[in-house]
């Protein structure tokens, strides 16, 4: 369920001023819609429950399985 407490329009307006960005009026609604979608995706990630003993991976290898990486190091 989307988080209704996040003010995407207000956020877009404030951040545009903060970084000196002019958003043309014809694009503002689309920018706000994308910000709301991005916030919802972020909410899903940040609210995902992790156990207290979860550890960060020391190195991230995108698209590579650990067994593939280990095989490459061995030979």
pLDDT digits (tens, 9 = 90+) for 44-55: 999 999 999 988
In a domain, 3, yes or no: no
- Per DSSP, the three-state class of 2 is coil
pLDDT of residue 2: 62
Domain coverage including residue 42: 8-74
Rg (CA), the chain: 20
In a domain, 28, yes or no: yes
Give yes or no for a contact between 51 and 43, defined as CB atoms under 8 angstroms apart.
no
How many percent of the chain have pLDDT more than 70? Answer: 84
Number of domains in the chain: 1
Q: What is the mean pLDDT of residues 16-38?
A: 97
pTM score over 0.75? no
User: b/e map of 22-43 (b: 16 or more CB within 10 Å)?
Assistant: eeeeeeeeebbeebbeebeeee
Mean pLDDT of the chain: 87
In a domain, 1, yes or no: no
pLDDT of residue 72: 61
């Amino acid at each position: 369920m989307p988080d209704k407490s996040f003010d995407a329009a207000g956020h877009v307006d404030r951040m545009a001023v903060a970084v000196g960005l002019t958003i043309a009026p014809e694009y503002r609604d689309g920018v706000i819609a994308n910000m709301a979608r991005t916030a919802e995706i972020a909410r899903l990630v940040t609210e995902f429950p992790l156990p207290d003993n979860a550890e960060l991976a020391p190195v991230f290898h995108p698209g590579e399985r650990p067994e593939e990486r280990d095989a490459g190091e061995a030979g």
